[in-house]
Amino acid sequence: MSVRLADLDAHLQATAAARLADFVELLRIPSVSALPEHAGHCREAAAWIAGRLTRAGLEHVEVAETGGHPVVYADWLHADGAPTVLVYAHYDVQPDDPLEEWVKPPFDPRIEDGRVFARGAADDKSHVHMLISAAAAWLTVRGRLPVNLRFVFEGEEESGSENLDRWLAANRERLSADLAVISDTGFFEGNRPSITTGLRGMMYAQLDVTGPRQDLHSGGYGGTVRNPATVLAEIIAGLHTREGRVDVPGFYDDVRPLGEGERAEFARLPFDEADYMAEMGVDALFGEAGYSTLERRGARPTLEICGLWGGFQGEGSKTIIPARAHAKVSCRLVPDQAPRRIFEAIRTRVLELAPPGVTVDMTLINTGFASLTPIDHPATQAAARCIEEVFGQAPLFTREGGSIPVAASFESLLGLPVVLLGFMNPDCQAHGPNESMRIDNWEQGLRTTVRYWEALAALPH
Ligand code: BES
Ligand code: ZN
């Protein structure tokens, strides 16, 4: 690696063991944003991060109230004449169920096979810690940062960033910057270095079917009333065609069609369907006809059932007609779909499918817009060069299926171009049991970030 940053590299090498131990400390805090019982843990994580930012030498460190889980803000604005970069990661994590599938408890980190296993180890505390360490390295070794930095660490990304837009809008002036860098993405299949240039949007809702006042004897009443669980199954089945298209009038109306050039880019990616299936443990792939797997994941909208419950769930048998049945439904959206319009279209269809004898409700839980970031922007190109310097391989440019609602908000509310610079390994099992971060990705990601800030200093602004 370059002589130019040899002092910083040496510092990172010398601090490796201490940084890993410190990272494990952060991973021990169960900051699950979706579950109210973890609200205190989210605050604990925010306070922990604020402490580390202060110790690293950042200024205006603040645990800022948003109405939900707090944002942690900090800045360092003494790089006269250099651009200002807003860097973002999130400290909240997904719920840890099913607990019995974890080899070790999700908040008792385990280091094995060159990886750290814990909920949030990859998504996204790896990047929270990396960003703090990158700043600490520059300030310790050089006593300065090469660019002006504003840190925004969110605590509600995994539950839909409900309060963030309001906070961004209210703090527009204080967040003025030239560029936003979001660190919450990962590499391509095979752990090939890559830069994500597209994310899908989100519409998340709950479906509730209510029938009789209470559970009924399925012999005494079976055959005489609508069963809410059966109705729910019928409604869900009615939302797709057998060929995998979403069967909701208007659902595809605003979808920006894929251009020939975009399709060629997807086709160029070195993707092995057999490896992809093996990684998931399935023997077939499925999705909307007429599109490749990568197109379906990165550039086509979907409707998925994320959870389904109602009636008897225990062992053995219990003969009832359940009074209620429920489902969690998520749609991944693409440019130019508007989440609320999609919610209304699905709700209309769901109510159409509802027969007499039950009540059907659909409630919106969260929304987010899709985003595309420009490959030819000098800040994206600079990121590509830094990745190549550290990982020894030029990154691929990929469009991912996941969502980071703030990406669209940085553009629409703050007017900032966005670069997605993240280092998760594709087999990190984000959101699933035994989530893990490869320590080599984490270390090299840190070195890339350290270089990237220097590269951005030269950016025209
Ligand atoms: N890190 C992910 C986003 C992501 C996933 C990017 C896969 C690239 C590939 C992020 O933390 C996440 O999971 N976001 C949620 C957002 C939702 C709750 C609005 C998601 O995508 O489910
Ligand atoms: Zn994430």
Instruction: Give the three-state DSSP class for 440.
Output: helix
Give the model confidence (pLDDT) of 218-239 as tens digits: 999 999 999 999 999 999 999 9
pLDDT (0 to 100) of residue 1: 59
> How distant, in Å, are the alpha carbons of 16, 111, 383, 419, 457 from that of 444?
11, 18, 13, 18, 20
Give the model confidence (pLDDT) of 194-211 as tens digits: 999 999 999 999 999 999
DSSP 149-185: EEEEEES-GGGT-TTHHHHHHHTTTTT--SEEEE---
In a domain, 275, yes or no: no
Indicate if 345 and 223 belong to the same structural domain. yes
**What is the 404 CA–ligand 1 centroid distance (Å)?**
5
Nearest ligand 1 atom, CA 200: 21
**What is the 201 CA–ligand 2 centroid distance (Å)?**
14
pLDDT (0 to 100) of residue 4: 86
Nearest ligand 1 atom, CA 424: 1
pLDDT (0 to 100) of residue 416: 97
Indicate if 113 and 63 belong to the same structural domain. yes
Q: How many domains does the chain have?
A: 2
In a domain, 266, yes or no: no
Give the model confidence (pLDDT) of 18-47 as tens digits: 999 999 999 999 999 999 999 999 999 999
Give the model confidence (pLDDT) of 150-170 as tens digits: 999 999 999 999 999 999 999
CA 268 from chain centre, in angstroms, equals 25
Indicate if 337 and 205 belong to the same structural domain. yes
Confidence of residue 460 (pLDDT cuts 50, 70, 90): confident
Domain boundary among 314, 339, 367: 367
Nearest CA to ligand 1 atom 7: 402
**What is the 429 CA–ligand 1 centroid distance (Å)?**
12
Mean pLDDT computed over 321-327: 98
Q: Any alpha helices (H) in 244-377, and if so which ranges?
A: 260-268, 273-280, 293-298, 339-353
Indicate if 84 and 181 belong to the same structural domain. yes
371-372/194-199 β-pairing: antiparallel
Nearest ligand 1 atom, CA 159: 18
Whether 453 has a pLDDT exceeding 90, the answer reads yes
Distance of alpha carbon 67 from alpha carbon 168, whole angstroms: 13
pLDDT (0 to 100) of residue 34: 96
Nearest CA to ligand 1 atom 14: 403
Whether 81 has a pLDDT exceeding 70, the answer reads yes
Instruction: Give the three-state DSSP class for 210.
Output: strand
Q: Are 373 and 198 in contact (CB under 8 A)?
A: yes
Indicate if 77 and 134 belong to the same structural domain. yes
In a domain, 264, yes or no: no
Tell me which residue range forms the domain holding 451: 3-199+370-457
What does the block give as tokens for 434? Answer: 């035994």
Distance of alpha carbon 17 from alpha carbon 355, whole angstroms: 62
Q: Are 135 and 449 in contact (CB under 8 A)?
A: no
**What is the 124 CA–ligand 1 centroid distance (Å)?**
10
Q: What CATH number does residue 244 fall under?
A: 3.30.70.360
Indicate if 342 and 374 belong to the same structural domain. no
Indicate if 188 and 54 belong to the same structural domain. yes
Indicate if 27 and 144 belong to the same structural domain. yes
In a domain, 25, yes or no: yes
Domain boundary among 342, 367, 392: 367
Nearest CA to ligand 1 atom 20: 403
In a domain, 326, yes or no: yes
- To the nearest 10 degrees (0 to 180), the angle between helices 16-27 and 439-457 is 100
Domain boundary among 322, 342, 367: 367
Residue 351 makes CB contacts below 8 A (sequence gap 6+) with: 360, 362
How does DSSP classify residue 107?
T
The percent of residues above 90 in pLDDT, for the chain, comes to 98
Nearest CA to ligand 1 atom 5: 402
Indicate if 213 and 357 belong to the same structural domain. yes
In a domain, 165, yes or no: yes
Nearest CA to ligand 1 atom 9: 402
What does the block give as tokens for 136? Answer: 């600490």
Ligand 1 shell residues, CB under 6 Å: 123-124, 157-158, 160, 184-185, 196, 202, 366, 368, 400, 402-405
Q: What CATH number does residue 187 fall under?
A: 3.40.630.10
pTM of the model: 0.95
In a domain, 260, yes or no: no
How does DSSP classify residue 224?
T
How many separate helices (H) and strands (E) can be counted in the chain? 13, 18
Pocket test for ligand 1, best of 33, 94, 125, 184 (most atoms within 8 A of CB): 184
Indicate if 424 and 349 belong to the same structural domain. no
Nearest CA to ligand 1 atom 19: 160
In a domain, 238, yes or no: yes
Distance of alpha carbon 108 from alpha carbon 351, whole angstroms: 45
Q: Any alpha helices (H) in 79-238, and if so which ranges?
A: 125-141, 164-170, 228-237
Tell me the CB-side half-sphere exposure of residue 201, using CA atoms within 13 A.
23
Indicate if 181 and 322 belong to the same structural domain. no
Pocket test for ligand 1, best of 403, 409, 437 (most atoms within 8 A of CB): 403
Sheet harboring 201-210: ordered strands across? 302-309, 324-333, 201-210, 359-368
Nearest CA to ligand 1 atom 1: 184
Indicate if 68 and 178 belong to the same structural domain. yes
Q: Which ligand is nearest to the CA of 365?
A: 1
**What is the 186 CA–ligand 2 centroid distance (Å)?**
10
